[in-house]
A and B are shown apart, each in its own frame.
Chain A
């Protein structure tokens, strides 16, 4: 009874497509069975909302009179440095960028109250942003200084382009040392004082399509409250990762590079975040639709929290020193119960990824599709899968000798 994306799109156009979220599909399949559910359901929507450091926006500010070439110069947005290695008036702001005068961790742990992620949130919110730039001046671009307010409405283009988002699965971070540590996985209290995780689990996009059978390059998605696309596999994409019998990655696994028009997005779904002692980042909302083309694809989309395992890793020693040691494995059902057992100790858990917001994203995407305003796309190329042999390699250092 295989369906095609074209057939599903016809149903979407007519307002007849049956769309459910990755949470709702679990009970529906329990009730009706895989065969019947696969006939009835056309699309399963997923969602995730968590801090995703590899995120950035590039903007084109338009040409000043006389012209200035920011390329090779310096540019700041609300005192946060933007990348100027592109053409005259294209600049890129990365989520982790910090003002030059931010004390960082000189006053430990650094607070990191404002950085690139916050600039992106401000842009999306329609706030005026202060651009201060200097250039070296050329015959065709004579100007050397520029100080002006800019607003997203006046920019030629404002594009969110995130090289690595939507990690398929992620580590659970703990601290085995005797002092508090401050990490990108949050504040970790000494001697297994807490355990932090960061995934929407059963609702997360790539956990519902573990072998990338439907999600590929060109897949249209919910991105930051607007419409975006999968641009490429994300950096550190690792399809050959250790998997469960059902194919669910038990470590990081796949990632997505995503792109979309920042002008359509909303600050509710792109939130600047500060990780104490670590830095600034951007919390990104992503939702991916999964077309139910076969019973097999549906089966993957019914994954539940108790079937998804994650590795518990010591962020005081093993993680910083690139040691492969894993303390234990726990399921997302255990993590969400509020307590896990590590080395015989009960450890309280907390999430950095917002499950309520992930649910909201899956529901919004469901509504978009059910109302006919969001059609599915056929991927133009697949993401590298298990057969590609692609792995996530460490850096092999080669000493530079004079």
Chain B
């Protein structure tokens, strides 16, 4: 069985200059697609990626990452909507490249589909009441 998941990797400072991803891909035969990476030497690195492959290999790959001190989060948790601040205006609709926002045709409320979100962050500053927040 194959799996494909979008995850956020947090690299502690000591790992930033080691070829972790290269080994992950080679040793566990996984495919990856980097959606976003902020890796600065001497600081914590954050990488958002889609990782796919055989379930067995995927699990071992994740074990390899966590065993080396990489903290892993599911992507859905990373961009969140502050429901108290969102006014459901819809300014985000055409800004999102993956169409993660949709208008309910009946209520005209804006739904945020977290599964489509790739955490690019474009909505954060385009939201007039600043209701979208990134939490890495």
Contacts and interface: CB of A to CB of B under 8 A. Distances in A.
A194 B89 contact: no
A109 B85 CA distance: 22
A189 interface: yes
B108 A356 contact: yes
Given A336-B108, A338-B103, A356-B108, A272 B91 contact: no
B90 interface: yes
A276 B93 contact: no
Interface stretch (B17-25, B48-56, B123-131): B123-131
B125 A276 contact: yes
Contacts of A194: 94-95
A283 B128 contact: yes
A50 B130 CA distance: 15
Contacts of B90: 350-352, 354-355
B87 interface: yes
Contact of A352 (B89, B107, B125): B89
Nearest to B90: A351
- Give the 5 A-B CB pairs with smallest separation, nearest first: A194-B94, A273-B128, A350-B93, A354-B89, A355-B108
Chain A interface size range: 20 to 34
B7 interface: no
Given A194-B94, A350-B93, A356 B88 contact: yes
Interface residues of B, number: 19
B60 interface: no
A194 B99 CA distance: 13
A256 to B, nearest CB: 20
Contacts of A338: 93, 103
B89 A187 contact: no
Nearest to A278: B128
Given A189-B94, A193-B94, A354 B128 contact: no
Given A51-B128, A113-B130, A273-B128, A352 B108 contact: no
